[in-house]
Amino acid sequence: MPPATTPVIALDGPSGSGKSTVARAVATALGWRYVDTGATYRIATLAVLRAGVDLNDSAAVTAVVETAPVELSTDPAVPSARLGGEDVSAVIRGAEVTAAVSAVSAVPAVRRRLVQLQRELAGTAGAVLEGRDIGTAVFPDAPVKVFLDASPAVRAGRRAADGDAGVHAPAGDLLASVGADLARRDRLDSTRATSPLAAADDAVHLDSSTLEAAAVVEQVLALARDAGLA
């Protein structure tokens, strides 16, 4: 378990809530590392898909992930994901990985391996981590915990506008398809047995539905200042 003194801001929430934008901006403002924990699961999922193993075979999935060379940049200005030196930043956002990542990330042994990696990536000098279980499992003693959310309609609109929602559909049906996929992922992530998507009891809840990203960033930085981190 990481020490309680580790300078970490834990930013949790569902997809489309604005976590990545806020986390990168906060990390930049503080001069800290930025860790996109969701990307580690996506890289691992890509490794599993390329290995051709059955997603329902937990032992086989774990065996692949245990040896997968998962690499992640912690520079908020230049985020990148690599698998064995190959830049897979774009491919891990595709439909195939998006459809499979919840199944892979639900395997307890996979989560244990990647949580260890995420803690290593955070280092000791300060990091902003975004994900779904940072404040509850990765850094439960983080001095600042935020649960960022937004309405389903706003979240779907953001993901569709991003162009990396991992959903293929005709333009007229894209928003509905993205919304349905987000609901599917929310259900899977919130009901898995190990480290489900949930707000820590002591997390500050922020709703970004009607807020500009800069306003959310300032609120998080204010929490960091109150905690003596900035």
**The CATH homologous superfamily of the domain defined by 8-224:** P-loop containing nucleotide triphosphate hydrolases (3.40.50.300)
**What is the Cβ-side half-sphere exposure of residue 40, based on CA atoms within 13 angstroms?**
28
How many other CB atoms sit within 10 Å of the CB of residue 90? Answer: 9
CA dihedral defined by 156, 157, 158, 159, rounded to 10 degrees? 50
With a CB cutoff of 8 Å and minimum separation 6, the contacts of 208 are 17, 18, 22, 148, 149, 150, 154, 216
Q: What is the pLDDT along the chain (230 residues), one digit of tens a residue?
A: 565 567 999 999 998 899 999 999 999 999 999 999 999 999 999 999 999 999 999 999 999 999 999 999 999 999 999 999 999 999 999 989 999 999 999 999 999 999 999 999 999 999 999 999 999 999 999 999 999 999 888 888 887 877 655 555 445 577 778 878 787 877 877 887 777 888 999 999 999 999 999 999 999 999 999 999 98
List, for residues 136-194, the tens digit of each pLDDT value: 999 999 999 999 999 888 888 887 877 655 555 445 577 778 878 787 877 877 887 77
3-state secondary structure the chain: CCCCCCCEEEEECCCCCCHHHHHHHHHHHHCCEEEEHHHHHHHHHHHHHHHCCCCCCHHHHHHHHHHCCEEECCCCCCCCEEECCEECCCHHHCHHHHHHHHHHHCCHHHHHHHHHHHHHHHCCCCEEEEECCHHHHHCCCCCEEEEEECCHHHHHHHHHHHCCCCCCCCHHHHHHHHHHHHHHHHHHHHHCCCCCCCCCCCCEEEECCCCCHHHHHHHHHHHHHHCCCC
Nearest Cα to 158, choosing from 178, 177, 187?
Answer: 178
Do 32 and 151 contact (CB within 8 A), yes or no?
no
Q: Can you give the length of the chain in residues? A: 230
How many other CB atoms sit within 10 Å of the CB of residue 168? Answer: 9
pTM, full prediction: 0.87
